[in-house]
């Protein structure tokens, strides 16, 4: 329903484009592993996929009170997001198990391996949760690259740039089922890096081999030092409605 209502409106207003949609299997479990440039990725990434894409979202989006809370819950449920509790050290493991349940049911699971939005448009090191999901489920990984969404809706902005036409590319599926039952730390990092390189090839982004959250913290600290302040908050913390999958990264 969301695709045929909100999705149709987005197509008319913003004219998004897509390439390689045929690379997304039409049935069976699939992992869509995408770069994460903007809040708008949650709209334009799944839009051309002829299947429902399920993401894992922080539970706060489903627990708000009043009319705003009701609208938030209805929206995030409508676009296929499942709430997870990120509190405590077991949050990453919970996200992993929930993701495996989604894949076991034969659905499409969307994940942002970087764990957060890019602070500067570059592609950052992926967290190994995506490799664990791929190896333990045996599901193919389809690399996904959002194009132009960083310029379309930069961090800490609400209104999009109507002059930018957002796009998405889907690469050929990557099969890691041969590693099932053999998920040691070195293999997880190798598989994750292969997925990130596939995303980089699609997106054309510069790859940075450090954690995106660390990069954000360093940028915030540098900005705070330069202005004689204590640093600015992460835009994900003060911009409402970000559906970033922190649980995926923690896994």
pLDDT, one tens digit per residue, over 41-75 is 988 999 999 999 998 776 666 677 787 777 777 77
Q: What is the overall mean pLDDT for the chain? A: 84
Q: Which residue has the higher pLDDT, 140 or 72?
A: 140
Tokens of 147: 């194009």
Domains, in order of start, for the chain = 2-234+241-250 (3.40.1130.10)
Q: Looking up tokens 């897509």, which residue turns up?
A: 18
Which residues, 6+ apart, have CB-to-CB distance to 192 below 8 Å?
Answer: 113, 126, 127, 128, 130, 131
Q: Are strands 167-170 and 141-147 parallel, antiparallel or unpaired?
A: antiparallel
20 pLDDT above the threshold of 80 = yes
Q: Write the DSSP symbol of residue 75.
A: H
Residues β-bridged to residue 168 = 18, 146
Q: Which residue has the higher pLDDT, 150 or 219?
A: 150
Closest CA to 217 of 235, 205, 200: 235
Residue 182 has a pLDDT of: 80
Average pLDDT estimate for 156-175: 94
234 pLDDT above the threshold of 60 = no
Residue 242 has a pLDDT of: 39
Its pTM stands at: 0.81
Three-state secondary structure call for residue 184: coil
Give 176-181's long-range contacts (Cβ < 8 A, gap of 24+): 176/131, 176/134, 176/135, 176/141, 177/135, 177/138, 177/140, 179/135, 180/135, 180/136, 180/138
Residue 230 has a pLDDT of: 43
Q: What are phi and psi of 35, to 5 degrees?
A: -70, 165
Tokens of 136: 């333990």
Closest CA to 29 of 78, 96, 99, 114: 99
Q: Looking up tokens 């640093």, which residue turns up?
A: 231
Among residues of the chain, what percentage have pLDDT more than 70?
82
Give 97-102's long-range contacts (Cβ < 8 A, gap of 24+): 98/56, 98/247, 99/56, 99/129, 99/133, 99/248, 99/251, 100/133, 100/136, 100/137, 102/29, 102/54
């Amino acid at each position: 329903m969301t695709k045929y209502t909100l999705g149709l409106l987005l197509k008319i207003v913003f004219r998004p484009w897509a390439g390689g949609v045929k690379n997304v299997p039409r049935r069976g479990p699939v992992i869509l592993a995408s770069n994460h440039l903007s809040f708008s990725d949650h709209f334009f990434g799944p839009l051309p996929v002829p299947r429902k894409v399920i993401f894992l979202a922080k539970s706060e989006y489903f627990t708000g009170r009043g009319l705003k809370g009701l609208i938030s819950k209805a929206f995030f449920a409508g676009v296929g997001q499942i709430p997870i509790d990120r509190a405590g050290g077991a949050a990453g493991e919970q996200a992993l198990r929930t993701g495996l349940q989604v894949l076991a049911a034969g659905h499409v699971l969307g994940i942002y391996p970087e764990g957060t939005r890019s602070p500067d448009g570059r592609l950052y090191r992926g967290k190994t949760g995506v490799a664990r999901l791929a190896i333990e489920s045996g599901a193919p990984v389809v690399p996904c690259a959002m194009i132009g969404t960083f310029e379309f809706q930069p961090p800490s902005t609400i209104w999009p740039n109507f002059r930018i036409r957002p796009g998405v590319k889907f690469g050929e599926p990557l099969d890691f089922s041969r590693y099932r039952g053999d998920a040691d730390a070195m293999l997880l990092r190798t598989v994750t890096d292969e997925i990130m390189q596939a995303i980089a090839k699609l997106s054309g982004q510069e790859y940075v081999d450090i954690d995106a959250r660390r990069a954000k913290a360093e940028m915030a600290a540098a900005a705070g030092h330069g202005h004689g302040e204590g640093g600015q908050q992460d835009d994900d913390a003060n911009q409402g409605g970000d559906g970033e999958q922190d649980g995926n990264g923690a896994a």
